[in-house]
Each structure stands twice: as structure tokens, then as C-alpha cells.
Amino acid sequence: MFRRRSHAEPETAEQSLERLQGESAVRDPQAPKGRPTPKRSEAQANRKTKVSVPKDPKAARRQARLRMREERETQRQALLTGDERALPARDRGPLRRFARDYVDARYTVGEFFLPSAVIILILSILPSLAIKNFSLFLWLAVILLIILDSVRVNLGLKKALRAKFPKENLKGVTPYALMRCLQLRRLRLPKPQVKRGEKVA
């Protein structure tokens, strides 16, 4: 019943073709499903077609400089207009936008820090000892007022953020807003999009 044939039947051409096709159909375990692994020359040719970099180093550098200039110009325009799509990563998102509007709609002591520092510096170099002592007292008063005002802005902003974005992570938003408080309004970037006293939605 299980004895071996004494004379094996010769394999026909059709059977040989089917056997070869079956062997080639076995997928290489390292190859992606459905296609064989491409040759190195083919893969390199595909990469070259995808990345269009000039062969001339000078032309490549010129192209890179031109692209960076265009990106900087787009970003500068976004900082002036408040366009969210082209803003830097640190200014992007609804949380940062809300924090900017919250600060820009209010007067803060910190925005007058630079002008007051210049005035105090001028007073401190005058020869009068009384004026020098007054400039020192004025300096301490300004620092104390900035700290108290920063605490006020911080608490108010956190409360407003929790009410508007209850499920969002607020990490880094209040320090971002406090740094904006220390800048003169006309020098802030992105440019303020709300007026003083305007209610922030």
C-alpha cells in the first residue's frame, strides 16, 4: 500500500512550470507583504526621485537660503496678523491665543517696567543723594508692584482658562502670558488682536 514506486513518472512541462510558480510565490519573511524586497539600486533611484535636491552644492545652498527666507517672511507676516497657520510653535494653539487676548485686553504694571527702569537709572546717576535714595525706593516699589500684579494676572488667567478649557493641559500657558505682560503693548509679537477693555470670549 505504501511501497515506493519503482519507476517515477517523468515530470511534464506543465507540472514543472506549476512547481516553479509555487516556489516563487512563497514570500520572503523579510519582504513586505504582497511584494518582494526591492533591489538596492531601485530603492536609491526611488529616493532620488522623491527628493529633488540640486547636484550643485552652491545651487543647493542657494535654494535652502531662499526657502528659509520665504519661511521667515511667512512667519513674520503671521506674527503681525495673528494667522495661526504660520505662527511659531510657541505661539500656536487656542490656549496661547486666549492667554494673549487676556493679557492684551488689560493694563498691567509689567508693561511699564522698561520705561520706569530707564527713569530710575537716570535718577540714580544724578549727584543728589536724596534723589539716589528716592530712585532706590522707587525701584523696590516697581518690583513689588510687578510681583503683585503678576499674581493677580496669573490667578485670573488660570480661572478663565479652566472655565473655557476644562479638559486641556494648561502647563506653560501662564508663564507665557506673564512674559507677555513684561513687554510694551506696541512691541508684543504676535501683535495684539483685541482692544483695551475688550471682553475676551
Contacts of 164 (CB under 8 A, 6+ apart): 98
105 shares a domain with 182: yes
In a domain, 32, yes or no: no
- Mean pLDDT is highest, among 30-44, 55-69, 76-90, 159-173, for 159-173
- Of 42, 74, 89, which one is at a domain's C-terminal end? 89
> What burial letters (b/e) apply to 90-104, b meaning 16+ CB within 10 Å?
ebeeebbbbbbbbbb
Residue 18 in grid coordinates: 506549476
Rounded mean pLDDT of 171-199? 93
Does the residue 194 lie in any domain?
no
CA–CA dist 57, 45 (Å, integer): 20
Q: Cβ distance 180 to 113 under 8 Å?
A: no
Give per-residue pLDDT as tens, 57-116.
Answer: 877 788 888 888 877 877 777 777 777 777 888 899 999 999 999 999 999 999 999 999
Q: Give 183's pLDDT tier (boundaries 50, 70, 90).
A: very high
Average pLDDT of the residues in 145-170:
95
**153 and 74, same domain (yes or no):** no
12-47 b/e (C-beta count within 10 Å ≥ 16 → b): eeeeeeeeeeeeeeeeeeeeeeeeeeeeeeeeeeee
Number of domains in the chain: 2
Rounded mean pLDDT, 17-39: 54
pLDDT band at 12 (very low <50, low <70, confident <90, very high): low
The closest alpha carbon to 104, from 2, 9, 198, belongs to: 198
Mean pLDDT across the chain, nearest whole number? 80
Q: Is residue 158, in this structure, part of any structural domain at all? A: yes
Is 126 inside any structural domain?
yes
Same domain, 130 and 161: yes
Domain, as residue range, for 98: 94-187
Instruction: State mean pLDDT over 141-161.
Output: 96
The verdict on 145 and 63 lying in the same domain is no
User: Does the pLDDT value for residue 19 go beyond 80?
Assistant: no
pLDDT for 24 beyond 50? no
Q: Which of 89, 106, 134 represents a domain boundary (last residue)?
A: 89
| Whether the predicted pLDDT of 158 surpasses 90 | yes
Over residues 161-170, mean pLDDT: 93
Residues 132 and 160 in one domain: yes
Asked whether residue 50 is assigned to any structural domain, the reply reads no
Of 40, 67, 89, which residue is a domain's last?
Answer: 89
- Residue 157, classified by CB atoms within 10 Å of its CB into exposed (0-12), middle (13-18) or buried (19+), is buried
- In this structure, the answer to whether residues 72 and 127 fall within a common structural domain is no
> pLDDT confidence of 8, banded at 50, 70, 90?
very low
**Could you tell me which residue, 86 or 26, shows the higher pLDDT?**
86
Q: Are residues 150 and 170 in the same domain?
A: yes
What pTM did the predictor assign? Answer: 0.65
Whether residue 101 sits in one domain with residue 80: no
